[in-house]
Structure 1
């Protein structure tokens, strides 16, 4: 349980860092006296959003990742690079399944905005896999 929780916290932190970097990239604020306050305010708002909305989704992905790790990767001793690809597929598949459940047309499921979310979930799932692999060896 401890290994899962540590890997989950790493995944949430990677989502938080990724979302803040994307928010800094998309804002057109200039760095000045008012700009720093706006950046700090936006970072605090993004932290709250990630904790309320992103953490349950990351928890679902980490639970699926734990099942994948424990029941498929460890017993079959799958190579690291193949496992890495499986976790990328897991991360992108979670977003794809959410979109299908929400009733989005499959042709609209692969827009740039959706691909951004798929990249973020892939980052979280890869972070979970790498941290879980590190703590499994200890």
Structure 2
């Protein structure tokens, strides 16, 4: 698999994403459903944004690994949140996770009216190998 990153600017670097990712010679593509702060028993978290973000990242990583892929193969990531203002102070948690896995992904952040039950953040990914 080959990845080519396109960044006409540099300001996105501080926000931990790239403007475009071209992927060639892909062996396989994994489309991951939105991962949230739902525990192994299927119970939605009613904790704060920070706790929910951490669990959503853990769940995303678990699904990717269980499918036989690696997080550094993420090429597209959508973040849905019920409050950008509440998410933003915890964005370094996300950025550290991105850096730890050496991920270079296209990113969209969307504020939505609501998510399932008590959830505040959802992460949807496209992963290649």
Question: TM-score, normalised to structure 1's length?
Answer: 0.34
Report which of the two has the higher share of helix: 1
Question: TM-score, normalised to structure 2's length?
Answer: 0.36
Larger CA Rg, structure 1 vs 2? 1
Report which of the two has the higher share of strand: 2
